Amino acid sequence: MCAIFGISGVDESSNLTYLGLHALQHRGQEGTGIVSTHGKEPFVHKERGLVGDVFTASVINSLQGHTAIGHNRYSTAGGNTSENLQPLIMKSSLGWVSIAHNGNLVNATELTKKLEQEGSIFQSTADTEVILHLMAKSKERELTRALIHALNQVIGAYSLLVLNHEYLIAVRDPQGFRPLVMGSHKGRPVFASESTAFDLIGATYEREIEPGEMVIVSLNNNFSVSSIRPLNSALKKRCVFEQVYFARPDSLVYGSTVYHTRKNLGKQLAEEQPALHAEMVIPVPDSGVYAAIGYSEFSNLPFEMGIIRSHYIGRTFIEPRQAIRDFGVKLKLNPVAEIIKGKSIVVVDDSLVRGTTSKKLIQHLRDAGAREVHLRISAPPTAHPCFYGIDTPTKKELLASSNSIEKIRVFVGADSLGYLSLEGLLKVASEKSGEGFCHACFSGDYPCLT
Ligand code: AMP
């Protein structure tokens, strides 16, 4: 998963992009980059690390111009190497072109093979580079038309920002797998993966870029904005996991506030999977908090922060070579013994992937004195890997791919285990956003695979 941000027609475009990327840090922590321009040459800085560490004042000052695009990387296609950091930038007969991508292309391997046979030399292993090569090979000599030519050949998930000396283009694939929103900053256009980036820079949220829509900002024409729909239309397949886990709860995604969606998922979960003799509801922080609030409200059980999360793990300790994941859980989540001692508790989390977190956590809760632990998950079992941009383990590692719910309950050591149904999830997710979701990770129903 990744974050993209772009802004045009403003002073300090790179500084605002830096702030936007900062607000979107949760979407990718491996590396970050900004490409800016004043309508002539590009200025580029990309580096592995967190936004706040990479973009020092002197780096930002070197990124000149009225227009910039930026990217936070979380590798799902291609490895975690510096060549794969985005925005990618390439020179061809079109001049320089830079691109920032969120999503995964499902036919990138076959297109790469074909392009290499035809003489293309790839600089990275990121699927995104395919789009640049297809643009460079296009007979079209204008950025928008070359981009349309390229996008008509790729299949899969892409929310993109494309920049050259003339245009900033924002485009979302016809199925709209990944989010992309548009706003206004002092009357100038701004684009981001999630609206929370606008809050930080004082921009106003306007709307989603629609699936299949391309919004074009002309750098030479007073940053005027136009919208076209040049891609084949398709049924909407917006990633429902953004609502469940990935997006920030203070963001508007697919037109609805993630906080409310998650809280309503918790209510739905309480209706479908009550825990009749439990005494309190405890979230697995941070991502389980909103569903737990909903669960507590619906079931009339008190909400308690019975597990405290440390936010300082990651770079301050040296992981032991063995059982790193288990060690991580202990370091990250600690029960408050006084709250849970002798109690029957409902523990709410948003998802269960490998089961490592739940298994360890439940053991810690029992060690801290919990009498009964009833685990509730505000999504259906994650049984299938994602090919559209979420980093999920292989099918084999996904606990629900080969185990019944009862087997999973025994594995994690819960007294009871209840998941939200797919119908329940889709009902809540579509309340404000309308229908049209990709739920392949839960259902195995893959919208487009080659
Ligand atoms: P696991 O221990 O593998 O079962 O992981 C479950 C935990 O990971 C849950 O608490 C989720 O909030 C979180 N989670 C779910 N999906 C992802 C993801 N794609 N990347 C990082 N964390 C995730």
Q: Taking the domains of the chain in order of start, what are their residue ranges?
A: 3-234, 257-443
- Report the pLDDT value the prediction gives residue 315, as an integer from 0 to 100: 46
Confidence of residue 448 (pLDDT cuts 50, 70, 90): confident
How many A from CA of 328 to the centre of ligand 1? 12
Percentage with pLDDT > 90 across the chain: 87
pLDDT surpassing 90 at residue 321: no
To test the pocket of ligand 1, the residue of 27, 245, 327 to mutate (highest count of ligand atoms within 8 Å of its CB) is 245
Hunting for tokens 């980036």 — which residue is that? 197
Torsion, Cα 249 251 257 260, to 10 degrees, reads 10
Hunting for tokens 């892409």 — which residue is that? 158
Q: What is the rounded average pLDDT of the residues 217-222? A: 96
Q: What is the rounded average pLDDT of the residues 17-34? A: 97
In three-state form (DSSP H/G/I as H, E/B as E, the rest C), the secondary structure along the chain is: CCEEEEEECCCCHHHHHHHHHHHCHHHCCCEEEEEEECCCCEEEEEEECCHHHHCCHHHHHHCCCCEEEEEEECCCCCCCCHHHCCCEEEEECCEEEEEEEECCECCHHHHHHHHHHCCCCCCCCCCCHHHHHHHHHCCCCCHHHHHHHHHCCCCECCEEEEECCCEEEEEECCCCCCCCEEEEECCEEEEECCCHHHHHHCCEEEEECCCCCEEEEECCCCCEEEEECCCCCCCCCEECHHHHHHCCCCCEECCEEHHHHHHHHHHHHHHHCCCCCCCEEEECCCCCHHHHHHHHHHHCCCECCCEEECCCCCCCCCCCCCCHHHHHHHHHEEECHHHHCCCEEEEEECCCCCCHHHHHHHHHHHHCCCCEEEEEECCCCCCCCCCCCCCCCCHHHCHHHHCCHHHHHHHHCCCEEEECCHHHHHHHHHHHHCCCEECHHHHCCCCCCC
Residue 447: name the closest of 407, 381, 388 by CA.
388
**Catalytic (active site) residue 2:** yes
- Report the pLDDT value the prediction gives residue 318, as an integer from 0 to 100: 52
- Report the pLDDT value the prediction gives residue 332, as an integer from 0 to 100: 87
Task: Pick the atom of ligand 1 nearest to 390's CA.
Answer: 19
| Nearest CA residue ID for atom 3, ligand 1 | 354
CA angle 246, 127, 251 (to 5 degrees): 20
How many A from CA of 274 to the centre of ligand 1? 23
- Report the pLDDT value the prediction gives residue 55, as an integer from 0 to 100: 98
Confidence of residue 311 (pLDDT cuts 50, 70, 90): confident
Confidence of residue 201 (pLDDT cuts 50, 70, 90): very high
Taking domain 3-234, whether its CATH number is 3.30.950.10 is answered by: no
pLDDT surpassing 70 at residue 286: yes
- Report the pLDDT value the prediction gives residue 251, as an integer from 0 to 100: 98
pLDDT single digits (tens) 351-366: 999 998 999 999 999 9
Confidence of residue 82 (pLDDT cuts 50, 70, 90): confident
| Nearest CA residue ID for atom 21, ligand 1 | 391
Least confident of 3-12, 244-253, 317-326, 342-351: 317-326
Pocket of ligand 1 (CB under 6 A): 245, 284, 287, 349-358, 390-392
Q: How far, in Å, CA of 417 to CA of 359, rounded? A: 12
Is 257-443 in the same CATH topology as 3-234? no
pLDDT surpassing 50 at residue 86: yes
Task: Pick the atom of ligand 1 nearest to 392's CA.
Answer: 19
Which CATH number applies to 257-443?
A: 3.40.50.2020
pLDDT surpassing 80 at residue 323: no
pLDDT surpassing 90 at residue 266: yes
* Tokens encoding 261: 């969606």
To test the pocket of ligand 1, the residue of 353, 354, 376 to mutate (highest count of ligand atoms within 8 Å of its CB) is 353
Task: Pick the atom of ligand 1 nearest to 287's CA.
Answer: 12
Task: Pick the atom of ligand 1 nearest to 399's CA.
Answer: 4
pLDDT surpassing 60 at residue 115: yes
pLDDT surpassing 80 at residue 319: no
Q: What is the rounded average pLDDT of the residues 363-389? A: 96
Residue 306: name the closest of 365, 383, 241, 391 by CA.
365
